[in-house]
Amino acid sequence: MKYGLLASLITLGLAVPASAALSGFYDASEQVQAVVGSDKVSFAMGGRAFDTLEQVRTRDNGQIEWRVQNSECYVIVTLTPVPPAEPGKTTYEVANVSACEGSDLEGAESGF
């Protein structure tokens, strides 16, 4: 009886789809795709190509901030994680894009 129950539980366990966590590399790749594929980010940066893309921080509420910079300015992009409805990977949507602020490169390029 015990072995029959154990065999049934193992069989049921094998029938459930696996939900493996995405590695950090692939999760970051999803975030980068959300940032660079966003029309909001492109509009905020005036359509100029970016030079630098870096993850800034993860907020307490789970949102993730990225800094996108070009030679003219930078924006802070806030991503909201969208968990999958079924087993699968988490995707991200752009929740907010800051106004384009002055570039960190201004002082370095001027020689001061």
pLDDT in tens, 44-56: 999 999 999 999 9
Q: Which sequence spans correspond to the domains of the chain?
A: 20-110
pLDDT of res. 19? 44
Name the band, by pLDDT with cuts 50, 70 and 90, for residue 61: very high
The pLDDT tens digits of the residues spanning 92-105 come to: 999 999 999 886 55
Name the band, by pLDDT with cuts 50, 70 and 90, for residue 18: very low
pLDDT of res. 4? 55
Name the band, by pLDDT with cuts 50, 70 and 90, for residue 36: very high
Provide the 10 A C-beta neighbour count for residue 92.
21
For residue 107 the two structure tokens come to: 């002082």
Q: What's CA 15's distance to the chain center, in Å?
A: 31
The architecture in CATH of the region 20-110 reads Roll (3.10)
CB-based burial label for 75 (10 Å; 0-12, 13-18, 19+): buried
The contacts of residue 9 (CB under 8 Å, 6+ apart) are none
pLDDT of res. 38? 96
Cα dihedral: 15, 16, 20, 26 (round 10): 90
Residue pair 85/69 in contact (Cβ under 8 Å)? The answer is no
Confidence check: pLDDT of 21 > 70? no
